[in-house]
Amino acid sequence: MFVSGRVKYAVLVIGLVAMAAMTVPGLRAPWITAALWVCLGYFAAEMALKTRQSSHFGRKPPYLGSAEFWWDVLGVVPVPLALIAGLPPEKAWLLASLWILKLATVVPGLSLLGRIIHLEARPLASVFVIFLIVLLLASVAVHLAEGPGQPEKFGTLPLALWWAVTTLTTTGYGDAVPETFVGRSVAGLVMICGLGVFGLWTGILATGFANEHRRREFIRTYELVTRVPFLRTLDAAGVIELTRMLRRQDLAERSVVVRRGRAGDCMFFIASGEVEVQVEPKPIRLAAGSFFGEFALLDGAPRTATVVTTRPTTLLTLDVTDFHAFTAQHPDLARELEAEAARRRAPVKDAGHIVNDADAAQ
């Protein structure tokens, strides 16, 4: 019961909706309180079950002390403590908002964001220091320039700091506006610096996401390359070089990969799944580890057969330019490809017809 993700999400949604309803005077009803207690009981039972299951792992259970454990504690303990301390129920149940933290353990993007922030901590911290420098200097400058004329808005440094924060973040609430030339000049510089600071933060995070995405894609592609028997003869450096050249394609069932008569600009390695080469008199099926499409790259001729996936398939695609560059640096692999292509070109007589396996391999 407690391991169902859908049930957990449903309980979370019901609990948060009931918490919001608790704050509306016209909606307060016993069923709202009952719903909140049921949700709290569910999360408490879930934590107890996880603790019990984790106790079977030895002296140091992986659940206890983990981030997931502390999120669960924050979801169970604060509300009862607040009620025991005498806080009004409509206020105490606002702590149920901490239940939303449970999503941090199930959303993959949050763990990815955490890793990127960890990897890019130094450049992010450098930009944050720039933010603090601009913030303080702007606060002092506007305090000196505007304080005498607007003491209620700029008369103290904390008031000037509030103005600097709203201006530097380009929020601009408008509750404090410089009136002197110096103050407005400072405001203009602060707004420009704000755009630059947040632009730098955005660029650093975007670059981090792109690098992490490339790293993970490289690892996935590398693992797929090692599954292709034809490529296992390559050394580690060759596999890494080829991995950078290959593009991964995830195709659904009955997807057309290539069509007969079309120009060929790439060859394919089957990492997983299966394809069907539609040749006469009988189609040929190729499983994981096979490759096809090399005829068009070796001869420059059009595709000689249509290839369709028979189930969800992952292909690794090598473009013609990368194909020639890679085979030039690895002549042994080029010779193996040419030998395999020559074997496939051998005509087979069947029912009076000349049959070619047409870009297919087994």
Classified as helix, coil or strand, 241 is helix
| Segments in the chain below pLDDT 50 | 1-3, 347-362
Instruction: Give residue 36's pLDDT.
Output: 92
Classified as helix, coil or strand, 256 is strand
Instruction: Please report the DSSP string for 66-127 in residue order.
Output: SHHHHHHHHHHSHHHHHHHTT--HHHHGGGGGGGGGGGGGT-HHHHHHHHHHHHTHHHHHHH
**What is the per-residue burial (b if ≥16 Cβ within 10 Å, else e) of 59-88?**
eebebeeeebbebbeebbebbeebeeeeee
DSSP label of 314: E
**What domains appear along the chain, each with residue ranges and CATH number?**
5-106 (1.20.120.540), 119-212 (1.10.287.70), 236-355 (2.60.120.10)
Q: What is the largest CA-CA distance in the chain?
A: 104
Instruction: Please report the DSSP string for 34-78 in residue order.
Output: HHHHHHHHHHHHHHHHHHHHHGGG-SS-SSTTSHHHHHHHHHHSH
Total-model pTM? 0.63
234 neighbors 291 (Cβ within 8 angstroms): no
> 43: closest CA among 16, 73, 22?
73
Q: Provide the token pair at 354.
A: 């000349």
Instruction: Give residue 61's pLDDT.
Output: 58
Instruction: Give residue 136's pLDDT.
Output: 95
Provide Rg for the chain, Cα atoms. 32
Identity at 191, one-letter amino acid code: M
Classified as helix, coil or strand, 274 is strand
Residues 90-146: tens digit of each pLDDT = 899 999 999 888 887 777 677 788 888 888 999 999 999 999 999 999 999 999 999
Q: What angle (nearest 5°) sits at the alpha carbon of residue 111, between those of residues 110 and 113?
A: 65
Instruction: Give residue 113's pLDDT.
Output: 82
**What do you get for the CA distance between the two ends of the chain, in Å?**
47
Please say whether the dihedral angle defined by the alpha carbons of residues 52, 36, 107 and 67, taken in this order, is positive or negative.
Answer: negative
